[in-house]
Amino acid sequence: MIRILSFCLLILSQSATAQTLLVLGDSLSAGYQMAIEKSWPSLMEPKLASSSPITRVINASISGDTSGNSLDRFPALLEQHQPNWVFIELGANDGLRGFPPKQIRSNLAKLISLSQGNGANVAIMQIQIPPNYGQRYSKAFADIYPSLSKDMQIPLIPFFMEKVVLTDGWMMSDGLHPKDIAQPWIAEFVTEQLLPHLNKQG
């Protein structure tokens, strides 16, 4: 009887501390042209489970998504998964389509506010776009992320693609997406960047 009670208490304790991380992104996170289990969010789950309160990672990323697309579907995701943390990797498709930076910032701010209103902590990834969009637009776009981080008091995670694009054999022939061979490094990089924040809040 005592053993059964102890086991039940252990399960309840683990359930109380178990937390969920929802990754909301585009093709850079969705496992573009590869099995979902090879994507970096999937590879993060065991790493986080062994070193943070996060025991479940939900990859809600969809290739081609803009910040507006994600905003439309986000309330249902929050209701379904009730995440403790939301990690936002969005904006690349907005930038590549030349959407106004104010519109992109507004959409991202709404995603952050919805997350926080649902009781979730939020982290956001810095996104960069190619310089051929012009210095003025590229700077206005890049400035969205540190501005949001400061104003909404959330962690800003460096852009993992800066390393990926410079590593031979890690990019697909389209020059936009990382191959499956790059996914373990990305998972390690994002995990290391998130851990201090996850453990601080956890």
| Beta strands 121-125 and 54-59, pairing class | unpaired
- Do the Cβ atoms of 65 and 90 come closer than 8 Å? yes
pTM: 0.90
Residue 8 lies in a domain: no
The CATH number of the domain holding residue 52 is 3.40.50.1110
CA 46 to CA 155: how far, in whole Å?
Answer: 22
Q: Known catalytic residues? A: 27, 174, 177
What's the pLDDT band for 10 if we cut at 50, 70, 90?
very low
- Structural domain includes residue 177: yes
Is there a domain that residue 178 lies in?
A: yes
Q: Is residue 4 part of a domain?
A: no
Question: Is 66 contained in some domain?
Answer: yes
Q: Is residue 96 part of a domain?
A: yes
Name the more confident of 130 and 169.
Answer: 169
165 three-state secondary structure: coil
133 occurs within a structural domain? yes
Q: For 65-124, how does the pLDDT look when each residue is reduced to its tens digit (9 = 90+)? A: 999 999 999 999 999 999 999 999 999 999 999 999 999 999 999 999 999 999 999 999
Amino acid 9: pLDDT? 36
Domain coverage including residue 39:
19-201
Decide if 119 is inside a domain. Answer: yes
Spatial neighbors of 183 by CB under 8 A, at least 6 apart, are 31, 34, 38, 39, 40, 43
What lies within 8 Å, CB to CB, of 195 at 6+ separation is 48, 51, 52
CB 42 within 8 Å of CB 57: yes
Torsions phi, psi for 178 (to 5 deg): -75, 145
Q: How many structural domains compose the chain?
A: 1
